Amino acid sequence: MVKVKTKFFCTECGYESPKWYGKCPGCGSWNSMVEETEKVVKTQGMSSGLFHTKEKPLPIINIESDKEPRIVTGIGELNRVLGGGVVPGSLVLVGGDPGIGKSTLLLQTSHEMAKEGLRVLYISGEESIRQTKLRAERLGALSPELYVLCESDMESIEASIDDLKPDFLVIDSIQTVYLPEVTSAPGSVSQVRECTARFMRIAKGQGIATVLVGHVTKEGAIAGPRLLEHMVDCVLYFEGERHHSYRLLRAVKNRFGSTNEIGIFEMNESGLTEVINPSELFLSERPLGVSGSTVVASMEGTRPMLVELQALIAATHFPSPRRMATGVDHHRMGLIIAVLEKRMGMFLQNQDAYVNLAGGVKLDEPAVDLAIAVSIASSFRDLPTKPDDVIFGEVGLTGEVRAVSRAEQRVREAAKLGFKRVILPEKSMKGWQSPSGIQLIGVNTVADALTVALD
């Protein structure tokens, strides 16, 4: 007889308990426990680890290490985010809001893989075969080695995988897959967890590069337990503003590469196209010679990116002024306003302050500080900035400008796009050669930077 048990799971960390808690004893988050009934069925190796080899421990110097082979997909931006391509046998989770383009991205990737002669299996639990075909026609993703299956029963999926032996597998989405022996509904914590564990074993055991699509909750996390993120090798988020056509692919976890890189795509009728030069995109709508607008040179991983930064300072109608930051850290903005007030004598307490990075990008490195300071001062004093200036540098609490990394790449990107001057920390100017045709102005304080940028 099968015993039915009721259990409670934490959706954040996967903590399991026979009773409900308001605060999860595992991770301390509030109101994260959900109830689930589970038929207890003996499943081999489900929770006792993924690898069952009867091997002895080896000295690390005796282990053979070929560099992990990678399948280089036809999509350069995806390769970049994954650290050079898809690793066979890896399990990748792609999360994102509904309608952002996850299915589009993966169908296009599948097509590119199939074009290389790999066998690809695309399993959709959300759309019918016909819908998938229509989408593939629109994207031009028709190739004979691309197989499509509409299925959500884990056991049939496993059978098809054994049958077809694909090199690349896409599951769209993990929330639709279910194991019949687990009684809770598809998408619930235990279903998602058990199915992911199975896909993990398929991926590792048969060396199939596997991509799972995951839905995102209102809070922006991948639905199901956080545990899911711990189980897989890579977690990618596909993001973008609904009203803008471009999309960012960002790695938040990667066992085979860095998590600093982002991939940039543009969405149009015929699918996603790669954005090779993001700076041009982020500067395309920039107004020239107005107050409050500057261009900042930022690094995303190993790639420099120029982005327009805008500030608006306007008299407030509220007892306490508004401070709104989009795309940059709200706390950094507060700090920079405090520095401008205290060190530069600007009276901003009765002014609302809005800071916005154009195009919906997010930059969280301190090198954007100086551009925020110049933009705010420019708007406050209503002095226009120079359209040919690029600014970067970290601002300290005494109003000093501190060195930032990779100054050379930032300057080269500015030169490449035809900017004439770069205002940068003086301490970042040593040890490299400036490209010709661009003037470098080293500054040590915010005051110096304002003198140069707003004279």
Query: In terms of CB distance, is 273 or 316 closer to ligand ADP?
Result: 273
**Nearest-approach distance from CB 172 to Mg ion, in angstroms:** 6
**Nearest-approach distance from CB 393 to ligand ADP, in angstroms:** 38
Query: In terms of CB distance, is 239 or 369 closer to ligand ADP?
Result: 239
Q: Tell me which of ligand ADP, Mg ion, none is bound by residue 104, counting a contact when its beta carbon lies within the kind-specific cut-off of 5 to 8 angstroms.
A: ligand ADP
Query: In terms of CB distance, is 175 or 291 closer to ligand ADP?
Result: 175
Q: Cα separations (Å) of 350 from 14, 41, 292, 322, 382?
A: 47, 66, 18, 9, 16
Query: In terms of CB distance, is 138 or 165 closer to ligand ADP?
Result: 138
Query: In terms of CB distance, is 67 or 243 closer to ligand ADP?
Result: 243
Pair of tokens at residue 255: 């066992």
Query: In terms of CB distance, is 103 or 310 closer to Mg ion?
Result: 103
Backbone angles phi, psi at 273, to 5 degrees: -115, 150
Q: Tell me which of ligand ADP, Mg ion, none is bound by residue 138, counting a contact when its beta carbon lies within the kind-specific cut-off of 5 to 8 angstroms.
A: ligand ADP
Pair of tokens at residue 78: 């995806």
Query: In terms of CB distance, is 73 or 103 closer to Mg ion?
Result: 103
The answer to whether the CB of 89 falls within 8 A of the CB of 252 is: no
Closest CA to 50 of 148, 196, 154: 196
Binders in 67-106 for Mg ion, by CB under 5 A: 103
Q: Tell me which of ligand ADP, Mg ion, none is bound by residue 99, counting a contact when its beta carbon lies within the kind-specific cut-off of 5 to 8 angstroms.
A: ligand ADP
Site string for Mg ion, 125-164 (x = CB under 5 A): ----------------------------------------
Does residue 108 bind Mg ion (CB under 5 A)?
Answer: no
**Nearest-approach distance from CB 271 to Mg ion, in angstroms:** 13
Q: Tell me which of ligand ADP, Mg ion, none is bound by residue 101, counting a contact when its beta carbon lies within the kind-specific cut-off of 5 to 8 angstroms.
A: ligand ADP
**Nearest-approach distance from CB 267 to ligand ADP, in angstroms:** 6
Q: Tell me which of Mg ion, ligand ADP, none is bound by residue 225, counting a contact when its beta carbon lies within the kind-specific cut-off of 5 to 8 angstroms.
A: none
Beta bridge partners of 7: 36
**Nearest-approach distance from CB 57 to Mg ion, in angstroms:** 44
Torsion over CA of 9, 12, 14 and 17, rounded to 10 degrees? Answer: -40
Dihedral over Cα of 115, 120, 121, 122: its sign: negative
Q: Tell me which of ligand ADP, Mg ion, none is bound by residue 96, counting a contact when its beta carbon lies within the kind-specific cut-off of 5 to 8 angstroms.
A: ligand ADP
Q: Which residues have CB under 8 Å from 204's CB, separation 6+?
A: 50, 51, 89, 91
**Nearest-approach distance from CB 419 to Mg ion, in angstroms:** 40
Closest CA to 371 of 448, 294, 305: 294
Query: In terms of CB distance, is 101 or 425 closer to Mg ion?
Result: 101
> What single-letter amino acid sits at 282?
F
Q: What is the residue whose two structure tokens read 């196209």?
A: 273
What region, left, alpha or beta, does residue 382 occupy, with left being phi > 0 and alpha being psi -120 to 50 degrees? left
Q: Tell me which of Mg ion, ligand ADP, none is bound by residue 100, counting a contact when its beta carbon lies within the kind-specific cut-off of 5 to 8 angstroms.
A: ligand ADP
Dist. CA 81–CA 187, nearest whole Å: 27
Q: Tell me which of Mg ion, ligand ADP, none is bound by residue 455, counting a contact when its beta carbon lies within the kind-specific cut-off of 5 to 8 angstroms.
A: none
**Nearest-approach distance from CB 387 to Mg ion, in angstroms:** 41
Query: In terms of CB distance, is 107 or 348 closer to Mg ion?
Result: 107
Dist. CA 449–CA 455, nearest whole Å: 10
Q: What is the residue whose two structure tokens read 């409050």?
A: 292
Rg over CA atoms, the chain: 26
DSSP line for 81-114: HHTSSBPTT-EEEEEE-TTSSHHHHHHHHHHHHH
- Length of the chain (residues): 455
**Nearest-approach distance from CB 192 to ligand ADP, in angstroms:** 17
Closest CA to 122 of 268, 86, 98, 112: 112
Query: In terms of CB distance, is 103 or 385 closer to Mg ion?
Result: 103
**Nearest-approach distance from CB 102 to Mg ion, in angstroms:** 5
Q: Tell me which of ligand ADP, Mg ion, none is bound by residue 386, counting a contact when its beta carbon lies within the kind-specific cut-off of 5 to 8 angstroms.
A: none
Which residues would be at the binding site for ligand ADP (CB under 6 A)? 96, 98-104, 138, 269
**Nearest-approach distance from CB 269 to ligand ADP, in angstroms:** 5
Dist. CA 179–CA 198, nearest whole Å: 10
- β-strand 351-357 against 421-425: which pairing, if any? unpaired
Binding site for Mg ion (CB under 5 A): 103
